[in-house]
Structure 1
């Protein structure tokens, strides 16, 4: 299971690199929304190829689709908002503050989601150590953004 943590670490590196790539694409094209469509097409192609090669790509049945919570269908919209933030903000504030804010806000939000068991997560209490870790991340991002 240790390899899963390695995969996440690589995804974090990719997230930092992607912000720069998306910023350059947005700057080089006439409209940043066009760049967003290019990125979305690349994302869809990657998932399609991996899904077809692994044999794990299937469409949901009607029963599965109806049993799904309504909010579960909107993750792609949130992903699009992240990409738009990369286009609009990352170049202007820099990679370190952008990724620091992105990751830290994600961790702080995750502590709340875990604590209450929202959006499908199992409950994990917001212990003093988790809260302290979130606060330390906020302080770290403040230092990165200030200097």
Structure 2
């Protein structure tokens, strides 16, 4: 998917580990569009998931795991509602009933995800829980891509992807 949004960031914010500087500060600017924007967005989402899981686990200690799941969804729904009310949403809620029935299962899966994170982090820690989540996500994503579940475009499963998944799972095992 191509994004029309164009964001200009200093290169040192995008590639801090590269340590590429011209003088004291690098003045170059990189325009992030398309795949780069999507990958940056995904990376921010991943960072947010680790922080969110930690915060949700703390809340769960005080309220209970299922109760924390409820509170988190109320807060998230309120935040998104405010965003939509301010006109920052790009969609059209009048089309909500046109979606196929299975599209609504995302709400139920959200409860499974949040509860699973809240329940697992106190027992195994943030890094191991997050690693297990990632292995599960990538495994399911490969199946969804390969078979084109939910009407999505098919993306062929390759041996390279298989070995990447195996390496990811072995890395997860090393974290035990």
TM-score relative to the length of structure 1: 0.88
SS of equivalent residue, structure 1 residue 60: helix
Aligned residues: 141
What is the CA-CA distance between 1:25 and the residue it aligns to?
A: 0.3
1:8 aligned to which of 39, 42, 46: 42
1:44 aligned to which of 54, 67, 77: 77
* Cα deviation code 1:96-142 (max 9, x no counterpart): 11111111111011111111111232101101111111111111111
CA distance in 2, matches of 1:92, 1:22: 14
CA distance in 2, matches of 1:70, 1:3: 31
Call closer, same or farther: CA 1:118–1:57 in 2, change over 3 Å: closer
RMSD: 1.6
CA distance in 1, matches of 2:89, 2:173: 44
Moved over 6 A (4+): none
Matching of residue 123 in structure 1 with residue 154 in structure 2:
yes
Alignment of 1:48-59 (within 5 A): 48-53=81-86, 54-56=88-90, 58-59=92-93
Query: Which residue in the other structure is 1:17 paired with?
Result: 51
Query: Which residue in the other structure is 1:103 paired with?
Result: 134
TM-score relative to the length of structure 2: 0.74
Query: Which residue in the other structure is 2:144 paired with?
Result: 113
Q: Bigger radius of gyration, 1 or 2? A: 2
- 1:114–1:123 CA contact under 8 A, matched in 2: yes
Call closer, same or farther: CA 1:57–1:113 in 2, change over 3 Å: closer
Higher strand proportion? 2
Matching of residue 32 in structure 1 with residue 65 in structure 2:
yes
Structure 2 unaligned spans of 5+: 1-33
Matching of residue 84 in structure 1 with residue 115 in structure 2:
yes
